[in-house]
């Protein structure tokens, strides 16, 4: 059954992927009179570019060659952004048919500018997002307790040591009491990213670093994540809770992708079974789901990631339709959830209308 689901997913994803290519081609040629030679050239570029993602992934897995998959990810981002712009161009052309040709040329220029901006955006280090959250059950003397929230670092073969060193430096400058990471830490096999744990061990906080699994940890093999975490001095919370500084509880649940790999999925009831006092409870959950149920169980603050705030078009527009708590701080009763846009990147090394971030949270006694 898992094999059948995988084949079905590949077929659907491939159809959508090449469908985007055809749509862009169709949108151009129906609006501008082009010679047969130019149309053929565009077709060849679309086919070769489209295949770069699949051939790059195949070569990476078979021979360890990386450069093609990097180009494939760039192409994927280019197609995604261009599709969005051409789609809105075609909607606008319905109302302004006499300007269809001009709008098509304009869409080409806007696509190039947007793609260039998206690539340049990721050259910047993660921005620092500072927020304060009132915490009614926090002891007065612990007011100002500082948490650094990281998520979706997606460490892989393309991650640079300089980027990780900069991340560690920026986190340590905040002098955190606690560092919490909500999944998708790694996106590769351990033997390909073994130079990073010594760098991540330099993260400093008064009460350590705690982490939960994300969906990508299971795709690459959960054992790689567990070993990577141990080498990095990260404490993995798997349906369990830990008391921090005798003032709050941190609860961690695995991502629900675990169930697809015949592993125990998230069980908040089990994780909170031994929490009986009246101190604040912070829940680490990779996906920003289950928040109302968590509030009913006494969670004061849920930290999540996964969404990347879309990262690129058109996902920026679709993610809020998929996740109610897609990005930022939300309140329900006296509890909160913060969903971060992520510390790193997945797939295309691009961001548009969103930034990578390090989240600094000060808990304020109330």
Q: What is the CATH number of the domain that holds 136?
A: 3.60.21.10
Q: How confident is the model at residue 229 (pLDDT cuts 50, 70, 90)?
A: very high
User: Based on the domain organization, do 315 and 230 belong to the same domain?
Assistant: yes
* Domain termination residue (choose one: 121, 137, 165): 121
pLDDT surpassing 70 at residue 64? no
User: Based on the domain organization, do 172 and 87 belong to the same domain?
Assistant: no
Q: Please state which of the ranges 15-24, 30-39, 51-60, 82-91 shows the lowest mean pLDDT.
A: 51-60
Beta bridge partners of 281: 249
The whole-number average pLDDT for the span 196-219 is 96
d(CA 287, CA 213): 10
* Domain termination residue (choose one: 96, 121, 146): 121
pLDDT surpassing 90 at residue 56? no
User: Based on the domain organization, do 115 and 161 belong to the same domain?
Assistant: no
User: Based on the domain organization, do 315 and 233 belong to the same domain?
Assistant: yes
Residue owning tokens 């195949």 = 58
* Region for residue 280 given its phi and psi (left: phi exceeds 0; alpha: psi -120 to 50; beta: otherwise): beta
User: Based on the domain organization, do 90 and 140 belong to the same domain?
Assistant: no
User: Based on the domain organization, do 154 and 70 belong to the same domain?
Assistant: no
259-274 in b/e burial notation, b at 16+ Cβ within 10 A? eeeeeeebebeebbee
**How far apart, in Å, are the Cα atoms of 239 and each of 191, 222, 280, 283, 287?**
27, 15, 17, 10, 15
Q: How high is the pLDDT of residue 219?
A: 87
User: Based on the domain organization, do 180 and 289 belong to the same domain?
Assistant: yes
User: Based on the domain organization, do 101 and 161 belong to the same domain?
Assistant: no
pLDDT surpassing 80 at residue 2? no
- Work out the mean pLDDT of the chain and round it to a whole number: 93
The whole-number average pLDDT for the span 302-326 is 96
Q: How high is the pLDDT of residue 60?
A: 67
Q: How high is the pLDDT of residue 112?
A: 97
Q: Which domain holds residue 101?
A: 2-121
User: Based on the domain organization, do 48 and 80 belong to the same domain?
Assistant: yes
Helix (H) or strand (E) holding 44: helix 36-63
Reported as a single tens digit per residue, the pLDDT across 263-283 is 999 999 999 998 888 899 999
Report yes or no: 213 and 181 within 8 Å, Cβ to Cβ.
Answer: no
Report yes or no: 184 and 229 within 8 Å, Cβ to Cβ.
Answer: no
pLDDT surpassing 90 at residue 93? yes
The whole-number average pLDDT for the span 24-34 is 94
User: Based on the domain organization, do 90 and 153 belong to the same domain?
Assistant: no
Report yes or no: 242 and 284 within 8 Å, Cβ to Cβ.
Answer: no
User: Based on the domain organization, do 182 and 329 belong to the same domain?
Assistant: yes
Report yes or no: 176 and 146 within 8 Å, Cβ to Cβ.
Answer: yes
pLDDT surpassing 70 at residue 360? yes
Q: How high is the pLDDT of residue 1?
A: 46
Number of independent structural domains in the chain: 2
* Domain termination residue (choose one: 97, 121, 145): 121
d(CA 53, CA 72): 4
Q: How confident is the model at residue 363 (pLDDT cuts 50, 70, 90)?
A: very high
DSSP per residue, 208-237: -EEEE--HHHHHH-HHHHHHHHHHHT-EE-
User: Based on the domain organization, do 21 and 145 belong to the same domain?
Assistant: no
Q: How many CB atoms are located within 10 Å of the residue 15 CB? A: 9
């Amino acid at each position: 059954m898992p094999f059948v689901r995988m084949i079905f997913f590949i077929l659907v994803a491939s159809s959508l992927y090449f469908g985007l290519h055809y749509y862009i081609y169709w949108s151009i040629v129906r609006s501008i009179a082009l010679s047969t030679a130019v149309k053929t050239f565009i077709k060849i570029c679309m086919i070769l570019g489209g295949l770069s993602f699949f051939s790059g992934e195949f070569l990476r897995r078979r021979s360890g060659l990386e450069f093609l998959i990097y180009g494939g990810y760039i192409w994927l981002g280019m197609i995604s952004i261009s599709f969005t712009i051409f789609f809105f161009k075609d909607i606008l052309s319905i109302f302004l048919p006499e300007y269809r040709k001009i709008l098509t040329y304009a869409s080409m220029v806007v696509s190039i500018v947007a793609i260039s901006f998206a690539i340049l955006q990721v050259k910047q280090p993660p921005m620092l997002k500072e927020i304060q959250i009132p915490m009614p059950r926090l002891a007065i003397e612990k007011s100002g307790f500082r948490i650094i929230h990281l998520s979706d670092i997606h460490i892989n073969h393309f991650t640079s040591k300089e980027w990780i060193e900069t991340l560690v430096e920026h986190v340590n400058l905040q002098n955190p009491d606690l560092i919490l990471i909500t999944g998708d830490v790694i996106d590769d096999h351990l033997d390909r990213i073994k130079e990073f744990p010594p760098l991540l061990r330099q993260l400093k906080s008064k009460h350590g670093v705690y982490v939960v699994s994300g969906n990508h940890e299971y795709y690459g093999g959960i054992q790689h994540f567990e070993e990577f975490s141990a080498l990095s001095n990260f404490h993995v919370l798997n349906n369990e809770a830990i008391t921090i500084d005798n003032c709050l509880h941190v609860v961690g649940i695995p991502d629900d992708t675990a169930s697809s790999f015949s592993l125990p999925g998230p069980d908040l009831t089990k994780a909170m079974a031994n929490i009986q006092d009246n101190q604040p409870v912070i829940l680490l959950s990779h996906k920003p789901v289950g928040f109302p149920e968590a509030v009913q169980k006494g969670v004061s603050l849920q930290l999540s990631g996964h969404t990347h705030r879309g990262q690129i078009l058109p996902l920026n527009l679709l993610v809020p339709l998929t996740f109610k708590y897609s990005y930022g701080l939300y309140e329900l009763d006296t509890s909160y959830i913060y969903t971060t846009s992520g510390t790193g990147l997945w797939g295309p090394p691009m961001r548009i209308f969103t930034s990578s971030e390090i989240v600094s949270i000060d808990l304020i006694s109330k």
